[in-house]
Amino acid sequence: MGSPLRLGRREFGAHEPVIMAIVNRTPDSFYDQGATFRDEPALTRVEQAVAEGAAIIDIGGVKAGPGEEVTAAEEARRTVGFVAEVRRRFPDVVISVDTWRHEVGEAVCEAGADLLNDAWGGVDPKLAEVAARYGAGLVCTHAGGAEPRTRPHRIAYEDVMADILRVTVQLAERAVELGVPRESVLIDPGHDFGKNTRHSLEATRRLGEMAATGWPVLVSLSNKDFVGETLDRPVKERVIGTLATTAVSAWLGAQVYRVHEVAETRQVLDMVATIAGHREPAVARRGLA
């Protein structure tokens, strides 16, 4: 890890793990089946996530997987007003929006978003231009060239981490050239996006190579299919596998964690940071009384 990460009003030290809490404004999200589609449950979720230690709220208006078509106008309808309300209620929280469309990026930045989470790897190159224009941060993700909302089919890489590094670093460098603040650009290996389970496992195993680039690394591991297939567990039984993967990722140098379970992730990250010597124990009485 290199220089501090700056997002919105917040600055995070080079060894400070950061939690990004997922708030889906979709009726068909894979994990909670639309539990935060309506405003009040979604705002309650934000309040709880912040109380449990999330510094970033990631708001999404379209689920990642296949499903009913969601136009840019509908995606904006689901997210823009909500971004404005979260900004009003939580002035210091970092607001991220998970979108690949520049039209939506423009609208949410106008409403107060600090970070654009481009999970589909620059499929709309104008999104980085929007981030630059508004001084917002940008997540540069490896998606293996996949079209948004498609599942991978027999995808192959000669060296998956080499491809991840090539794509994400190129996207990050382009963003900075366009004017996105360098300290606000992150790279993401894109677990499950354009990858099979073995690819995602290798990306995790070799995550240190991403951290070595100097760009802050974001990982989106939470309850994903590669965890489910590794352990043969359905969506609702993937928390333990997710937390194990989180601990490994933290040890290898990831900094930002996009998650559903905030409190559990906070404990895992605090434990790893303390073992690594970057954080003091909350209490250290044993053997001293």
Q: What is the pLDDT of residue 23?
A: 94
Sign of CA pseudo-dihedral 25, 149, 143, 261? positive
Q: Find where tokens 């089919």 sit.
A: 153
Catalytic residue of the set 9, 258, 266, 286: 258
Is 224 catalytic? The answer is yes
- CA distance linking residue 258 with residue 100, whole number of Å: 17
Element housing 24 (H / E): strand 18-24
Provide the token pair at 175.
Answer: 């963003």
- CA distance linking residue 139 with residue 60, whole number of Å: 14
Between helix 72-89 and helix 39-51 the angle, nearest 10°, is: 50
DSSP letter for each residue of 55-108: SEEEEESS-SSS-S---HHHHHHHHHHHHHHHHHH-TTSEEEEE---HHHHHHH
- CA distance linking residue 132 with residue 198, whole number of Å: 35
Residues of the chain above pLDDT 70, percent: 96
Q: What is the pLDDT of residue 1?
A: 45
Taking 70 as the pLDDT cut, the residues of the chain under it are 1-2, 28-37
Catalytic residue of the set 101, 174, 224, 238: 224
- Which residues are CB-contacts of 31 (< 8 A; sequence separation ≥ 6)? 22, 24, 222, 223, 235, 260
Q: What is the pLDDT of residue 33?
A: 58
- Which residues are CB-contacts of 130 (< 8 A; sequence separation ≥ 6)? 102, 105, 106, 109, 116, 136
DSSP state of 31: T
Q: Is residue 221 within 8 Å of residue 244, measured between CB atoms?
A: no
Exposed e or buried b per residue across 261-282, where buried means at least 16 C-beta atoms within 10 angstroms of its C-beta: bbebbbebbbebbeeeebbeee
pLDDT digit string, tens, across residues 214-271: 999 999 999 999 999 999 999 999 999 999 999 999 999 999 999 999 999 999 999 9
Alpha helices, H only, the chain: 39-51, 72-89, 102-111, 126-134, 160-178, 197-205, 207-211, 225-231, 239-251, 262-275
Partners of residue 141 on adjacent β-strands? 188
Q: Is residue 235 within 8 Å of residue 30, measured between CB atoms?
A: yes
Is 279 catalytic? The answer is no
pLDDT digit string, tens, across residues 187-204: 999 999 999 999 999 999
